[in-house]
Copies of this chain bind each other. A is one copy, B any other.
Amino acid sequence: MATGTLTTERILEATEEMLRRHGAAKATVVDVARALGVSHGTVYRHFRTKAELREAVTKRWLDRTSQALSGIVSGTEEPEAKLRHWLAGLFAAKQHKAGDDPELFATYTVLTGENSGVVDRHIADLTGQLTAIIQEGVTRGEFTAPDPASTSRAVFDATNRFHDPAYAGEWSKPGIEPAFTAVVDLVLRGLRR
């Protein structure tokens, strides 16, 4: 990368490319600087440590999912349709991540294991989106939830077979779609006023 400005985003793209090709072991500041054709001092101006770089690339990977879903939260559907759509969107996003590039998914599973703070904040983002949908349903008199934040965590937990990477091996198996629908139907019946 002899020309252009070295942005944080460009470094993270190169890091992800590194992860895709070589797995988690090679994603260090020095490896990424070499791939970009810059000195590692240049990369260190953006990320002071290997840990910081790996945390940032993991956050970027997780944020892609929450950003895609945030459009559903702010949309105009009825709360029940919105919640169904959001849970299906989360499941589809995870299925794609796991199925389209299984090696990169496995690598990110290693990185999420190393960066539990990033994962906790990601789960807080997602359950925050769920809380907004549930709160909207309560306000409109369609859902019952004495404490929408605790209910949103219950909905998130109840659907974890369809978003927790621990279950990725099941997401392409026959029968997974009806199993997903059965859980979502049960959860929605539980929320209805």
Contact = CB atoms under 8 A, between A and B. Distances in A.
Interface of A: 144, 150-151, 153-155, 157-161, 164, 166-167, 178-179, 182-183, 185-191
5 contacts: A154-B182, A154-B183, A166-B166, A189-B189, A190-B190
Nearest to A184: B154
Copies per assembly: 2
B155 A186 contact: yes
A186 B150 CA distance: 11
The binding surface of chain A is classed by DSSP as: helix
A166 B190 CA distance: 26
Contacts of A182: 150-151, 153-154, 157
Contacts of A164: 166
Contacts of A151: 182, 186
Nearest to A160: B161
Nearest to A159: B158
A57 to B, nearest CB: 25
A191 B192 CA distance: 12
Contact of A186 (B160, B161, B185, B187): B187
Nearest to A175: B153
B166 A154 contact: no
A137 to B, nearest CB: 13
A186 B154 contact: yes
Most buried by B among A153, A154, A182, A188: A154
